[in-house]
Amino acid sequence: MTYPTQPTASHFINGEYAEDTAGTPIDVIYPATGEQIATVYAATPALIERAIESARAAQITWAAMTGTERGRILRRAAEMMRERNHDLSVLETYDTGKPYQETSVADATSGADALEYFGGMAATLTGEHIQLGEDWVYTRREPLGLCVGIGAWNYPTQIACWKGAPALACGNTMIFKPSETTPLCALKVAEILHEAGLPAGVYNVLQGLGDVGGALVTDPRVDKVSLTGSVPTGRKVYAAAAQGIKHVTMELGGKSPMIVFEDADIDNAVSGAILGNFYSSGQVCSNGTRVFVHKDIKEAFLDRLSTRLKAAVIGDPMQPETSFGPMVSERQMNIVLDYIEKGKAEGARLVCGGTRLDRDGFYLTPTVFADVADDMVIAREEIFGPVMAVLDFEDEADVMARANDTEFGLAAGVFTRDLARAHRVAAGFEAGTCYINTYNDAPVEAPFGGSKASGVGRENSKAAIAYYSQLKSVYVRMGDLEAPF
Ligand code: NAD
């Protein structure tokens, strides 16, 4: 199968595509049909070496350019991504199986937002002046050096840009390793950045599994690691980075709560629950998968939810009307099916869904369990698929304690018309990203990231700059210097 934006080789190193078929082959499967659409080869030690060497060399000249010059290239790349949105969205759909209806508005577009935002910010990055009587200190905001980005498979274009844009704006270079499940999109990001004028070696892409990621994380020439992935992988990567005292950003998993109070607008709450459980077939880290609904409105909520779910158009992701696509892989589909069986075995009430569709590809139906108890596996573990757990509650203090009773802390949402309660609840959530009467918005202007086991650091917004730069203090004495002898 060929498609308009097919990358021409597995890796992108020092400004050009690179190939070495001695690496382990990685089959790229179109999740909607199960067909193999490409093969990439994992990076060999020689390619890893070439990428590190060229990224180290390029960093010196890249950092020596002015912020305005660096930003101009990033903003030009953002424009090119928008112009090519259709082709990039088709590729994203081939890579992930997500419906074109989603990829055309949420993937290359949000990647372009990050390039535009941090491109605009590059010229404004400065240190400060601190007057100390006659003397003074100034700070220099300096890049960290070579940053490694490691991506998950759910938003391959977006993750490549969310990590690359702030890193490059600050004068770092990057080696990005996409998920082995979705290796294609990051190559197009690299291609576009270089077409926009990026010097060779500033943004590189290497394919591979965890071992390639591990080789990058442990290399002493790498200064920073930014991972998007699961908590178990985060623990390993964080520990490996700690050996070299490297900077880290960890964007990890979640099991986020969404609380629907009795005074909520039920239709809006149902919309939030749909967006927070079934967008991208439920493969979104910040999803609000524990939906606590007040007892008084629970049945009404479930009724409307079931009705709305019947309107989901499940099918060919390339058709513009399709609103629900397949799981990213057979493996992920089977993981989710296992959780569905656990939910049934534990006695949760299956309201709808819970099955694999009888067709090619890795299709599940949107699944809702009600009467879920806090200690059930489906209420405690991240499923990363279209499975919503609905839990009952009556009392605010009680539901807050239950909502926070998790190792995760990525996101949380509340639906209520009571303004004071909304802000009180948001303040009480142990989570990095909270929503009031909405769910899963992630504009580049706002910090995004997790607390507790869900992560370290923030992506997007001005906050990301702190994770891709460091401050050097320079003390300047104006007068004579006294010494004790
Ligand atoms: P994963 O943890 O299996 O893999 C993530 C990446 O880490 C992959 O590129 C993989 O090759 C690499 N990797 C694995 N072992 C490694 C090692 N030892 N050293 C270095 N790299 C290694 O995650 P996944 O299944 O690709 O993605 C799903 C997970 O990602 C979910 O838990 C989801 O919540 C999380 N996620 C988080 C965010 C966020 O922003 N917080 C966003 C998207 C996905």
Q: Where does the pLDDT of residue 481 fall: very low under 50, low under 70, confident under 90, or very high at 90 and above?
A: very high
Q: Where does the pLDDT of residue 353 fall: very low under 50, low under 70, confident under 90, or very high at 90 and above?
A: very high
Q: Please pick, among 191, 285, 298, 382, the residue that the annotation labels catalytic.
A: 285
Q: Amino acid identity of 479?
A: G
Ligand 1 atom at shortest distance from the alpha carbon of 410:
41
Ligand 1 atom at shortest distance from the alpha carbon of 153:
26
Q: How much is the pLDDT for 412?
A: 98
pLDDT digits (tens, 9 = 90+) for 428-473: 999 999 999 999 999 999 999 999 999 999 999 999 999 999 999 9
Its sign, for the CA torsion 182, 184, 187, 189, is negative
Q: How much is the pLDDT for 296?
A: 98
Judge whether 459 counts as a catalytic residue: yes
pLDDT at position 1 over 60: no
pLDDT at position 278 over 60: yes
pLDDT digits (tens, 9 = 90+) for 57-93: 999 999 999 999 999 999 999 999 999 999 999 999 9
Q: Name the pTM for this structure.
A: 0.97
What is the CA(135)–ligand 1 centre distance, in A? Answer: 48
pLDDT at position 234 over 80: yes
CB 128 within 8 A of CB 138: yes
What is the CA(152)–ligand 1 centre distance, in A? Answer: 4
Q: Please pick, among 251, 382, 396, 434, the residue that the annotation labels catalytic.
A: 251
Judge whether 163 counts as a catalytic residue: yes
Ligand 1 atom at shortest distance from the alpha carbon of 254:
34
Kindly report the three-state secondary structure assignment for every residue of the chain: CCCCCCCCCCEEECCEEECCCCCCEEEEEECCCCEEEEEEECCCHHHHHHHHHHHHHHHHHHHHCCHHHHHHHHHHHHHHHHHCHHHHHHHHHHHHCCCHHHHHHHCHHHHHHHHHHHHHHHCCCCCCEEEECCEEEEEEEEECCEEEEECCCCCHHHHHHHHHHHHHHCCCEEEEECCCCCCCHHHHHHHHHHHCCCCCCCEEECCCCHHHHHHHHHCCCCCEEEEECCHHHHHHHHHHHHHCCCEEEEECCCCCEEEECCCCCHHHHHHHHHHHHHHHHHCCCCCCCEEEEEHHHHHHHHHHHHHHHCCCCECCCCCCCCCECCCCCHHHHHHHHHHHHHHHHCCCEEEECCCECCCCCCCECCEEEECCCCCCHHHHCCCCCCEEEEEEECCHHHHHHHHHCCCCCCEEEEECCCHHHHHHHHHHCCCCEEEECCCCCCCCCCCECCCHHHEECCECCHHHHHHCEEEEEEEECCCCCCCCC
Closest-CA residue, ligand 1 atom 21, reads 213
In 3D, which of 459, 333, 443, 19 has the Cα closest to residue 205? 19
Closest-CA residue, ligand 1 atom 17, reads 210
pLDDT digits (tens, 9 = 90+) for 301-337: 999 999 999 999 999 999 999 999 999 999 999 999 9
Mean pLDDT of 109-121: 98
Judge whether 177 counts as a catalytic residue: no
Residues with CB under 6 A from ligand 1: 150-154, 177, 179-180, 209-210, 213-214, 217, 228-230, 233, 236-237, 251-254, 285, 382, 384, 410, 450, 455
Mean pLDDT of 267-294: 98
Ligand 1 atom at shortest distance from the alpha carbon of 180:
11
Q: How much is the pLDDT for 6?
A: 80
Mean pLDDT for the chain overall: 97
Ligand 1 atom at shortest distance from the alpha carbon of 229:
30
Q: Which of 224, 228, 459 to mutate to test the pocket of ligand 1 (most atoms within 8 A of CB)?
A: 228
pLDDT digits (tens, 9 = 90+) for 171-207: 999 999 999 999 999 999 999 999 999 999 999 999 9
Mean pLDDT of 197-223: 98
Mean pLDDT of 2-26: 91
Q: How much is the pLDDT for 2?
A: 52
What is the CA(285)–ligand 1 centre distance, in A? Answer: 10
Q: How much is the pLDDT for 334?
A: 98
Q: How much is the pLDDT for 4?
A: 59
pLDDT at position 52 over 90: yes
